Structure 1
Amino acid sequence: MHMATSELRGSSLKLTRIESVSADETVHHVDQLESEALDTFYEAVGGNRPITAAEIGLDAGDVIVGPEYYRVDLV
């Protein structure tokens, strides 16, 4: 079952470090994140804490690339 984006906005997410990305994945560079989402990203990575889709503005399955790749996963 596929949930609509609006249904996922309150879902708990985690950032999982990954080694590589396939060509069909949605990738966002950290420079593309809004400043609040960027702060949330760094806090989540540094503190290994869950986040919500509303905080980061991305969906489960999206990938964020900085110097490393992180996949946004449902908790």
Structure 2
Amino acid sequence: MVAEMFADGVGRVDFVSGVVRIELVSLEPAESGQGKMEVRQRIAMPVDGFLHSLNTMGDLVNKLVEAGVLKRNEQNAPTAKK
């Protein structure tokens, strides 16, 4: 069985001593109604693994665009100054 972790997002990404460290954060509710993001887990991986994961996530983004789940932002081409 594979352990599963839920995170609301990525809080911080650092590169220290040749290792990429990614903090996974989740919203922690507060009595005031203003929750705050708290670190739940940290992933540490070598640069090669990090770059491979970026490529894998990019492939997923492309599949989500093809499926119509996401739309790419159309960036306006910069206009030349005269």
Give the shorter-chain TM-score range: under 0.3
Q: Which has the higher strand share?
A: 2
TM-score, length-normalised on structure 1? 0.24
Q: Which has the higher helix share?
A: 1
Instruction: Tell me: higher relative CO, structure 1 or 2? Use CA pairs within 8 A at least 6 residues apart.
Output: 1
